[in-house]
Amino acid sequence: MTPPPDAPANADSIREADEITYVDRKMAFICSKGNLDMAYPALIMAHSALNAGVHVDVFFTFWGLDIINKRTMDRLKFTMQGNAAIHFPTLEKYYPGLGDMHFSPLFGALPGMTKLSTWYMKNELQKMEIPPVRDMLEQIAQLGANLWACKLSADMMKLTPRHLHKCVRGIVDADTFIEMSEGAQIIFI
């Protein structure tokens, strides 16, 4: 049966379209936040892009440096504060409709909520076999991603190369990163 022309694309049709070869395709991800839920989007998209043969640069700036800082990378947090879309789909199994209920960001101010929500997110990621941030960094570096730390932010936070994950290629200023990412699709996270 042929789907109607206005039907949404399915995974098979997307894969067929992906058979087009992209020449010299580049993507640059800019990570500006150091929360657990802000680390994974860039790392997962970078991983997918690399698997598709796309050149990838990832630039960590301001609090995004926490993602590559050896002292903080294993302790990234997930907070409900400032996130009006927060909900916990696994609660559906306890009470129908509860999984779709959005929680007020004010819940994040309650003692222990950041610890609980961080535990929840890490647990869900582990169930899906998504590796920890440290391992994701190593995977994308092994696939060919170039990881860069922002010089201004590193200077401000008194970070040197010895503070950063071994996969970070260097500390560069914004001008250098802009030159390196010329012609790339830039995704700011």
Strand order across the 55-60 sheet? 168-172, 146-150, 55-60, 26-31, 185-188
156-162 long-range contacts, Cβ below 8 Å, gap at least 24? 157/65, 159/65, 159/69
Q: What is the pLDDT of residue 20?
A: 45
Residue 56: predicted pLDDT: 96
CA–CA separation, 88 and 99 (whole Å)? 5
What is the C-alpha to C-alpha distance for residues 33 and 133, in angstroms, rounded to an integer? 14
Domains and CATH numbers, the chain: 24-188 (3.40.1260.10)
Q: pTM to 2 decimals?
A: 0.78
The two three-digit tokens of residue 29, written as one number:
């991800």
Looking at residue 117, its pLDDT comes to 83
Q: What is the pLDDT of residue 44?
A: 96
Q: In terms of pLDDT, which residue wins out, 10 or 121?
A: 121
**Interstrand relation of 168-172 and 185-188 (parallel, antiparallel or unpaired):** unpaired
Per-residue pLDDT reduced to its tens digit, 112-162: 888 988 898 899 899 999 999 999 999 999 999 999 999 999 999 999 999
> Taking all residues of the chain, what is their mean pLDDT, rounded to a whole number?
84
**What does the block give as tokens for 106?**
């004010």
Q: What would the two tokens of residue 156 be?
A: 């401000």
For residue 49, the one-letter residue type is A
- Burial of 140 (C-beta count, 10 Å sphere; 0-12/13-18/19+): buried
